[in-house]
Structure 1
Amino acid sequence: MRLGSMHFGVNYTPSRGWLHHWLDFDPDEVRADLDSIAALGLDHIRVFPLWPVFQPNRTLVRPRAVEQLAAVVDAAAERGLDVGVDGLQGHLSSFDFLPSWTTTWHRRNIFTDPDVVRAQAHYLSVLAAALADRPNFLGMTVGNEINQFSGAPHPDPDRIDAGQAGRWLRRMLAACEEAAPGRMHLHASYDAAWYDGTHPFTPAHSARLGAATAVHSWVFNGTAQRYGPHGAATERHAAYLVELSKAWAEDASRPVWLQEVGAPAPHIPPGRAAAFTEATVRNVLDCPDVWGVTWWCSHDVDRSLADFPELEYGLGLLTNDRRVKPAGEAMALLVREFRQGGLPSPEPRRTALAVDAGDVWEAPFRSVCRPGGAVFEAWMRIASAGGRPAVVLEQHADDAGHLAARGITEVLRAEQVP
């Protein structure tokens, strides 16, 4: 398990059957997929057990499913790939995967119902314990953007407040740590956590709970629509999220994992996917304390599978018959350049933009950070002019110790940026 260097990886979407492959598990197909991933020079994958498949009953975690997960981790090890495992899937590519014991006649809040929470913690601990002795096991992510179940625009949300979200996250992370001590256990939210002041999962949850901060950068969130596929803000959105996340971190050197980023068509036209990939990754590599970049996703979704949003079918670095696409070639070239020392380590960012989002834990005014918001616009103006802005909370803007720990020598407010 490599924790001390820059990491390049991919979210593993199997070429045959997408993530439904757990229902027809074929180790030979998995090995072939992993061969095609390793050939790009990548060093890790992120894998997604489907929660209803692995825990179909509240008191049953299927041993055979856990064995298959371990087989994927072992096959990855044979190819020099580390593995991060997401537990509660949860939500993937517009589909919800909730077990039947949480829905309809058994409908209950997945964040607050005591029986559900106890079962979730048990499930995560079973997966983590099964992998704890594998050297290439990175750790557990609690779930993939499971925060989307907690509010709009979900059609049937499990309503909670920020305090309840924090208690749930701490319980899940503790279960992972107890089962596999010392691994990189964390959680992942989609960007409402950073941009929506009414959302119960907050920036502080992401930046202060768990072993690292995960950010998911998707420019179909209004960024590409507002600034265009060639726009500087579109190509810098991922780097902006990385730097924004650091404003809420208590540890000045806390690692940030760009855990999802992709080139969604038509927001990024297919002919521009390679250029967008290169620009996005280069901008992120200029941010200090980045643990790694994990592209979404490995293989395209097979067109024989129905009802995915159109943009989901073509996000892979490889086709679903394992041919490398232009974005995959761009990623492979960047990895090679980095490994050969062609991309230097980033210097500290001396100028910081202050953000006043209100209370540190609830951040009710965080909408100033979203695309089109005052902080977002000011950060992009500085970056587009050749600057390298960081972000600091208004609460820390005059804290000499905090600023020194991050190497910040100048703090600006949005209204000071012409």
Structure 2
Amino acid sequence: MTHSPAAPRFGVNYTPSRGWFHHWLDFDLDPVRRDLDAIAALGLDHLRVFPLWPLFQPNRTLIRPRALEQLAALVDAAGERGLDVAVDGLQGHLSSFDFLPSWTTTWHRRNLFTDPDVVGAQAAYLEALAGALAERPNFLGLTVGNEVNQFSGDPHPDPDRITPAQAADWLTRLLAACERGAPGRLHLHASYDAAFYQDDHPFTPAHSARLGAVTAVHSWVFNGTAQRYGADSVAGAQHAAYLVELSKAWAGQPHRPVWLQEVGAPAPHVAADRAGEFTRRTVAAVLDCPDLWGVTWWCSHDVDRSLADFPELEYSLGLLTTEQRVKPAGRALAGALAAARDDWHPPRPRTTALVLDLPDAAPKRSTCGPGGAFFEAFMRLAADGARPTVLLAERVADHAGLSARGITEIVTVEDVS
């Protein structure tokens, strides 16, 4: 895939203002249209949408036609407002809640990643989702699921344990199902940052950077970044950009696009009166990353306080209130995207590469996470204005690869310490 000088996409993860994702139970297009009007008014160009897997495929051999029709209606309503739509398949996990069909749990407990009946049903479901939307011009493509890697190991309370090879097989099969349903669309998968930071996690950085049409990263500073360094720190502002550049170390192509698919300003880790500034600094940092496909903020609307049992931070992540009022983060994102579109210049190559000495499977990744030696060396370089990227040690002698990425200086963690 070749490098594109086009300005990055700006979008939002759509959380319905009425009923949260439970709105699929009594789907009503009127409140959805109001939400979409408010999203379009911010100047955004796309949504990421989350069908709830148990509602769309309540039995292993039943994919509800009416649910597919409702999803298509939402996509059409978005298109009427100039919004493209990316759809996630296996939900899976959302905002601390797991949504798994009854045919995978308790009396029917089966491994989500290796049981042949379960994986076959997942493939059929993803192909049906993609097929239902394939003819719609504003359908971007499918993401296999939202952070489904969290089911594969600790700290999940009841994980479906697998090996990295099994994770790769699962991803390859399900991405192929997406492609069968809607050939040529932007089909990908998405892991939360355990894939990059957690030792021995079965979903690896190489999976993220090599499987699917683009690399997806999810940036959340409540992962220890804000607690250790502060949300206003260099590490807080640069965390999303760091994940974008870290993912490039494993990419098979020098200009593979990277999608910042989730990023938000979580309270209290980001103070409410600093949410706008945090948004502005985060977006400015990530726009300085070459090969950025786009930024999709989490999320469109706050969670209604009438809904119980969410972690406190989940209630206030919206760019908009449930009454459609624009919040400081929403104003900051709208301003950033307007400026980027009015005067877009692709960022210069990041010429300084920090060497990461991890094997391809990267079993010991904690050095890359908050508090790790590699993480801190990258942030010291960023604080000094070096605009670093990341290079695997095994690629230091790949002169063609270095040239393709524009790398002219190589430094080690020891050089920065």
TM-score (norm 1): 0.98
1:177-210 Cα distance to aligned partner (Å, 9 max, x none): 1111110100000000001121000000000000
> Aligned residue for 2:99?
97
How far the C-alpha of 1:224 sits from its partner, in A, is: 0.2
> Aligned residue for 1:354?
355
Q: What SS does the aligned partner of 2:309 have?
A: coil
> Aligned residue for 1:328?
330
The reply on whether 1:377 has 2:376 as its aligned counterpart is yes
| Count of aligned residue pairs for this structure pair | 414
Describe the shift of the 1:79–1:3 C-alpha distance in structure 2 as closer, same or farther (beyond 3 A).
farther
Tell me the distance in 2 between the aligned counterparts of 1:404 and 1:375.
23
Tell me the distance in 2 between the aligned counterparts of 1:220 and 1:77.
34
Confirm or deny: 8 A CA contact 1:120 1:172 kept in the other structure: yes
Tell me the distance in 1 between the aligned counterparts of 2:66 and 2:298.
27
How far the C-alpha of 1:306 sits from its partner, in A, is: 0.3
* Aligned amino acid, residue 75 of structure 1: A
> Aligned residue for 2:19?
17
Describe the shift of the 1:180–1:3 C-alpha distance in structure 2 as closer, same or farther (beyond 3 A).
farther
Confirm or deny: 8 A CA contact 1:356 1:365 kept in the other structure: no
How far the C-alpha of 1:289 sits from its partner, in A, is: 0.2
Tell me the distance in 2 between the aligned counterparts of 1:412 and 1:268.
32
> Aligned residue for 2:279?
277
How far the C-alpha of 1:26 sits from its partner, in A, is: 0.6
Tell me the distance in 1 between the aligned counterparts of 2:5 and 2:374.
32
The reply on whether 1:106 has 2:77 as its aligned counterpart is no
Confirm or deny: 8 A CA contact 1:300 1:316 kept in the other structure: yes
1:238-267 Cα distance to aligned partner (Å, 9 max, x none): 000000000000111100000000000000
How far the C-alpha of 1:344 sits from its partner, in A, is: 2.7
How far the C-alpha of 1:374 sits from its partner, in A, is: 1.4
Tell me the distance in 2 between the aligned counterparts of 1:187 and 1:299.
24
Q: What SS does the aligned partner of 1:187 have?
A: strand
Q: What SS does the aligned partner of 1:14 have?
A: coil
Tell me the distance in 2 between the aligned counterparts of 1:5 and 1:63.
37
How far the C-alpha of 1:5 sits from its partner, in A, is: 3.9
1:252-288 Cα distance to aligned partner (Å, 9 max, x none): 1100000000000000011100000000000000000
The reply on whether 1:60 has 2:62 as its aligned counterpart is yes
Q: What SS does the aligned partner of 2:188 have?
A: coil
Tell me the distance in 2 between the aligned counterparts of 1:111 and 1:322.
39
Tell me the distance in 2 between the aligned counterparts of 1:386 and 1:362.
31
Tell me the distance in 2 between the aligned counterparts of 1:136 and 1:252.
28
Q: What SS does the aligned partner of 2:190 have?
A: coil
* Aligned amino acid, residue 37 of structure 1: I
How far the C-alpha of 1:402 sits from its partner, in A, is: 1.0
* Structure 1: segments with no counterpart, 5+ residues: none
Tell me the distance in 2 between the aligned counterparts of 1:3 and 1:338.
12
TM-score (norm 2): 0.98
Tell me the distance in 1 between the aligned counterparts of 2:253 and 2:406.
13
How far the C-alpha of 1:311 sits from its partner, in A, is: 0.2
1:292-350 Cα distance to aligned partner (Å, 9 max, x none): 00000000000000000000000000001111001100111111111111x53200011
> Aligned residue for 1:412?
411
Tell me the distance in 2 between the aligned counterparts of 1:154 and 1:333.
38
> Aligned residue for 2:182?
180
Q: What SS does the aligned partner of 2:88 have?
A: strand
Tell me the distance in 1 between the aligned counterparts of 2:60 and 2:364.
38
Tell me the distance in 2 between the aligned counterparts of 1:70 and 1:250.
34
> Aligned residue for 2:345?
344
> Aligned residue for 2:151?
149
* Aligned amino acid, residue 34 of structure 2: A
* Structure 2: segments with no counterpart, 5+ residues: none
Tell me the distance in 2 between the aligned counterparts of 1:413 and 1:107.
47
* Aligned amino acid, residue 350 of structure 2: R
Confirm or deny: 8 A CA contact 2:7 2:346 kept in the other structure: no
